[in-house]
Amino acid sequence: MNTILVTGCSSGFGLETARTFLDRGWTVIATMRAPRGDVLPGSERLRILPLDVTDADSIARAVEAAGPIDVLVNNAGVGLLNALEGVSMNEVHEVFETNTMSTIAMTKAVLPQFRERRAGVVVNVSSSVTMRPLHLLSVYTASKAAVNAFTESLALELEPFGVRARLVLPGAAPETSFGANARARMGGTVPEAYADMAAQVYAGFQQMTQFTRASDVAEAVWRAATDPSCPMRLPAGADATALAAAA
């Protein structure tokens, strides 16, 4: 039986990914910073483990408690939308710790078992924003572009050991808690000098006609996990797919 460990399962893409793999007969280790038993259906094949991906001890405990896994999905992440001048260095660190460093740390923690078994897949959830530059997203985009570069280089060194690494690039998904979580964490407002730019960015969001659903991301993760011939980068969602086609 196949086992998958997913980070950031309390909401959004991680929750939907856990649900999808459970529905399809996998054993799922759904990890959450603050574990909740009420968001996923009860199942003998489901384990919920505490995991704060920015905490090295928490990573070690979760990987130990999980035991052997076949697929790791680095999904936990935080957003940040602001002009660089309005961003504190603490916020920059938080974004990179959560989106980038944790992806590297989690991957490093599971690699020995994957290499020894000569099997395993690492799926890293990046973002379609890395496909083209956008206003007010410099720090967030940099944190995800680093994940892309990390994953693509790592895939080369893991290939001789039969271990795969893949990227899922979701588009904008207003249905998840991502925007609300980002707004709640962003104490600072956009600096006055960038107010018009921000207004245009927000107006652009209102005009968007194509979006990404959590189910699009879960399907892309499914493909990355189960199809050895899938491409390195898997756009997820109508907007991300259109962007990739135009690139």
Ligand X SMILES: NC(=O)c1ccc[n+]([C@@H]2O[C@H](COP(=O)([O-])OP(=O)(O)OC[C@H]3O[C@@H](n4cnc5c(N)ncnc54)[C@H](OP(=O)(O)O)[C@@H]3O)[C@@H](O)[C@H]2O)c1
Instruction: Quote the least distance from Cβ 105 to ligand X, whole Å.
Output: 11
The whole-angstrom separation of Cα 27 and Cα 30 is 10
The whole-angstrom separation of Cα 96 and Cα 92 is 6
102 is catalytic: no
Instruction: Quote the least distance from Cβ 118 to ligand X, whole Å.
Output: 28
Instruction: Quote the least distance from Cβ 38 to ligand X, whole Å.
Output: 13
Q: Which two tokens stand for residue 135?
A: 């206003």
126 is catalytic: yes
Q: Which of 102, 126, 127, 128 is catalytic?
A: 126
| Nearer to ligand X (CB atom), residue 36 or residue 118 | 36
| Nearer to ligand X (CB atom), residue 27 or residue 100 | 100
| Nearer to ligand X (CB atom), residue 24 or residue 185 | 185
202 is catalytic: no
Q: Please name every residue paired with 3 in a beta bridge, in sequence order, or none if there are none.
A: 27
229 is catalytic: no
Strands (E), 51-95: 71-74
Rg (CA), the chain: 18
Question: What strand order describes the sheet that includes 27-32?
Answer: 46-50, 27-32, 3-6, 71-74, 121-125, 164-170, 233-236
Which residue ranges make up the site for ligand X (CB under 6 A)? 7-14, 33-34, 51-54, 75-79, 98-99, 125, 127, 170, 172-173, 176-178, 181
Which residues participate in catalysis according to the annotation?
10, 126, 140, 144
